[in-house]
Structure 1
Amino acid sequence: MSNTRRPLAALVAALVGAGALVGCSGGQPAGSPSPQATGGEAAGPVTLRVVSLLPGSEQAAIDAFNAQVKEFEDANPGIDIQPEEYEWKATTFAAQLAGGTLPQVFEIPFTDAKTLIENKQIAELDAQFQTLPYASKFNPAILDAGKGPDGKVYAIPGKNVYGVGLHYNRDLFTAAGLDPENPPKTWDEVREAAKKIAEKNPGVAGYAQMTQNNTGGWQLVANTFAHGGRVQEVKADGSATSTLNNDGTKAALQMLKDMRWGDNSMGANFMFDWGSINQAFAAGQIAMYTSGADVYTSLIQTNGVKPESYGLTAMPLQGDDAGVLTGGTMVAMPASVTDAEKDAAIKWIDFFYLAKLVDKDRAVADAKTLAANNQPVGTPVLPMFNKAQWDENQEWIKEYINVPLDQMKGYTDTMFDLPLVGEPSQKTQEIYALLDPVVQAVLTDKNADIDALLNDANTQAQALLDQK
């Protein structure tokens, strides 16, 4: 298997080249608003149901979103936006899509687009995508995740790419006599800090791990990469070999087993998914966990985390081929939508997701609206285009940045040098689902046999990969 350790800056440079983002395009000059952002009548009145925020989001976040909707509708009087709360979950998404209950503009993980395209479940958006003045400037590796075998775009990168990081509670570190300015840099230090925190703060998990709704598999794969392992080998002909029983996965699970049964530092709740672990962390019940580095926004909007208690640092890496799992979100539409709905949707996607990354006026307007409603501006993410564009964007919005960046330096100081590794490319969610019970077993059964669990999961994963 080829070495997948490639710093983001080098990867983007290799894929995108040295060209400027919009200023060198054949379209409009840099800094000028895109036609989608500035309005223009749709073909006729169109009602467009779009994802808004996570269920349970705070009123300030809802107010900020509604202000953005009003701004868009004022600029696009032929389009009526109807926001709907939404949280992607592997266990419910397929039924929602099949049942027609999803909004017309919804979000999916990078890993899901290829399967949905193959199954003809999402609409082709290529013609609409090509109207974006920056369409040719995307990192090709990111854009490819939403392309079909015909080379056309079906799902559009909707949010910047994340790398998994280590999130920690600064207050719990201080209470345990640890320095929140010096968070763990190795897995041994994570284990040591978790044990101290659990001993000093009864009832608190020094470290916790997601375990259900496919998130257990997702974070086990992240920890596998961080320990130098890989879970899948894909050959040039497209065939794939499952390698779930690799040394990196075994090391990650052994660490969890030692922390749970040896150190008693992982608390008493071992059934977390993405939403519930965020909630427990914000409530001060968890001191450390791993997740996408962009989760701070959700912690503020949905969970009411105290900004002064939050810390973010880089994922500890151990092993010669250790890397950081990276992923992101794409925007798609059901296959049943009309051309008029597609045309309206690309205007919304440009306005809400993308224009603020490449256009100064849109970036400032978006940041100003969010800041006015006490919503996060400046949460660390990785560039969807290139580092130069990201740097320029940060300069545009610097007066509105309100996230505690000084408490995230362990991540931001290294984010462009991280050896990024993409999620497994075949049967991704199905394989994550196979790994959920493996993580659960290690945390709930003192006698769990890691080798046997992984060998069984590997056999099942290979059967999935062999399906045509």
Structure 2
Amino acid sequence: MRSPRKVLLTGTVLLAAAGLLAGCGTGQAGAGDGRVQLRVATFPPGADAAAYEAFAAQEEQFEKEHPDIDVIGVEYEWEGPTFAVQLAGGSLPDVFTVPFTDTKTLLENGQLTDVTDAIERLGYTDAFNDVILDGVTGDDGHLYGFPRQAYAMGLHYNRELFAEAGLDPDAPPTTWDEVREYAKQITEKTGKAGYAQMAANNTGGWQLTAATVARGGRTQVDEADGSATSTIDNDATKAALQFLHDVRWTDGSFGARFDLDWGTINQEFAAGNLGMYTSGSDVYTALVRDFGMAPETYGLGVVPVEGDDPGTLGGGDVAVISPTADETTVDAAVEWIDWYYMQKLLDEDAAVADAKTLADSGQAVGTPLLPVLSREQYEESLTWIEPYINVPRDQMSAFIDDIWEQTPVGEPKKKTQEVYALLDTVVQTVLTQQDADIDALLKNAQSDAQALLDQ
């Protein structure tokens, strides 16, 4: 393949992508010529034309080195509830990415391909961070995916709204009291929401868990026998909900949207309607590429921490192979994953080639991440690609400088998404009912979560 014409689009084709694809077919290119056709995930719907241009260039490089493989990009966005339907319907790409929080469920259901031998052969087994590798390790000790990217939770803020409100754009808040104070000032001075938080499609539970960890609490505890105990009803989670209540009902600085999820909160932020929110530190790329945010408006700091045992909730995603792929396709998929995702983490030439291709296409290079390997390896890789870094890292210095002082905490391992869904309702109730009984909500949520864990 030599152009973006073979990126298969699902749903409505946006104008940016349509311009690249106009007049070109999306049929069985490469069929019958002896090459292995490999369907690989590319971008979620809405990615700009430059993203597809970058992918086309990388695809051409890969196919030049692997002439027996015909790569077909598939527009893709992970959604847990639709995975089984895609799997049954045969529409799942051969290679796709899955959040850490979903890999355990897919492992339990036998829905991932064993890549233990491939990871060992490529020499990555001992290179990965042990905490991260745990997310792709099955009960049988085998490995079922390549951890490719990790993040810590960050506080994202709009520098223009900070300046308009009389706040220093280079000094984001460092305590939850300051977050509340800054949010109120932003709303009073600009009329925009000072602070908002995700509350729908399991993201409410995700962010409530992050807020709990930041205040020294945990929503789930692993037991020695492999079971788990729900600990949702704790002081840290109560404090996190009380914070939301006060921002919403006392200060009036939360805004008018109480059903935001990952996509819609990014839309609101990129449009300049929101002063601050928490999410993964890697979201800058999507904000610019998929949501049209102006880079100069962006700022990133660490999530404030307090309490006796605080930390920053971490996450990331894993490159995996469809369980329906045959042996030949699996071999091709491993070659693609190694080339597209992994080599740039360890090899200078691969890192530079990747960064140059992305930079030449106007894509983000240098977005702050947590290393899936070692910190030393990650920081060395940044020196390799320094000439191509194009993200405003000076506007992210509050995060880059301070994140290493925070303790990374993994997401709950058992029934993660199901429990997050329970907590969505708790968050929404606090945001929509001024007299919500937080104590009762937490007591009921803990009981319901434990019932799930005991299944």
- Identify which of 199, 203, 206 aligns with 1:211: 199
Decide which of 57, 63, 73 is 2:47's aligned counterpart: 57
Residue 407 of structure 1 aligns with which residue? 395
Q: Does 1:45 align with 2:4?
A: no
Identity rate, percent = 56
What letter matches 1:460 in structure 2? Answer: D
8 Å CA contact 1:110–1:328 kept in 2: the answer is yes
Equivalent residue for 2:381, pick from 393, 397, 405:
393
> 1:364-443 to 2 correspondence within 5 Å?
364-443=352-431
- Give the equivalent residue in structure 1 for 2:82: 92
SS in 1 for 2:449: helix
Q: Would you say 1:307 and 2:307 are equivalent positions? A: no
Deviation at 1:457, TM superposition (A): 1.2
Provide the secondary structure at the position in 2 that maps to 1:411: helix
- For residues 334-366 of structure 1, the C-alpha deviation after alignment (integer angstroms, 9 at most, x for no partner) is 221111111101111111111001001100000
1:297 is aligned to: 285
Larger mean CA deviation between 107-116 and 166-175 belongs to: 107-116
Equivalent in 145, 149, 168 of residue 157 of structure 2? 168
Letter in 1 for 2:280: G
- What CA distance in whole angstroms lies between the structure 2 residues aligned with 1:89 and 1:285? 26
Unaligned runs of 5+ in 1: 1-43
Count of matched residue positions in the alignment of Structure 1 and Structure 2: 423
Q: What is the rounded CA distance, in whole Å, between the counterparts of 1:236 and 1:151 in structure 2? A: 17
In the alignment, which residue of structure 1 is the partner of 2:12?
none
Residue 185 in 1 paired to residue 168 in 2? no
Q: In structure 2, what is the equivalent of residue 151 of structure 1? A: 141
RMSD: 1.3
Q: Distance in 1 between matches of 2:210 and 2:87?
A: 27
Q: Distance in 1 between matches of 2:83 and 2:441?
A: 27
One-letter amino acid matched to 1:170? R
Whether 1:342 aligns to 2:330 is yes
Could you tell me which residue of structure 2 aligns to residue 16 of structure 1? none
- Deviation of residue 96 (structure 1)? 2.5
SS of structure 1 residue aligned to 2:70: strand
Match of 1:66 in 2: 56
Could you tell me which of 337, 341, 347 is aligned with 1:353?
341
Instruction: Name the amino acid aligned to 2:107.
Output: I
The answer for unaligned runs of 5 or more in structure 2 is: 1-33
Indicate conservation of the 8 Å contact 2:50/2:361, yes or no: yes
Instruction: Verify: 1:194 aligned to 2:183, yes or no.
Output: yes
**Does residue 94 of structure 2 align to residue 104 of structure 1?**
yes
The letter of the residue matching 1:282 is: A
Shift of residue 95, structure 1, vs aligned partner:
3.0
Q: TM-score, with normalisation over the residues of structure 1? A: 0.88
Equivalent-residue separation in structure 1 for 2:330 and 2:316 (angstroms): 22
8 Å CA contact 1:53–1:86 kept in 2: the answer is yes
Confirm or deny: 8 A CA contact 2:148 2:372 kept in the other structure. Answer: no
Quote how far apart the aligned CAs of 1:434 are: 0.6
1:151 and 1:91 mapped to 2: Cα distance? 27
User: Structure 1 residues 239, 133: CA separation in 2 closer, same or farther (over 3 Å shift)?
Assistant: closer
Q: Which residue of 1 aligns with 2:116?
A: 126
Contact 1:355 1:362 in 2 (8 A): yes
* Deviation, structure 1 residue 54: 1.6
- Describe the SS at the equivalent of 2:71: strand
> What is the CA–CA distance in structure 2 between the aligned matches of 1:201 and 1:46, rounded to whole Å?
56
Partner residue, 2:68: 78
Aligned to 1:116: 106
Q: What SS class does the counterpart of residue 77 from structure 2 fall into?
A: coil
Q: Distance in 1 between matches of 2:198 and 2:383?
A: 35
**Any idea what the Cα deviations from partners look like across 1:128-155, whole Å, max 9, x if unmatched?**
2222133331122211211212211112
Instruction: Render the CA deviation track for 1:206-239: whole Å, top value 9, x for unaligned.
Output: 0010011111100000001111111011111112
Q: TM-score, normalised by structure 2?
A: 0.91
Q: Which letter maps to 1:146?
A: V
Instruction: Judge conservation of contact 1:158–1:349 (CA < 8 Å) in 2.
Output: no
Contact 1:162/1:326, CA 8 A, preserved across alignment: yes
Deviation (angstroms), 1:194: 0.4
Q: By how many angstroms is 1:449 displaced?
A: 1.2
Cα offsets for 1:170-190 (capped at 9, x unmatched): 000000011111110000000
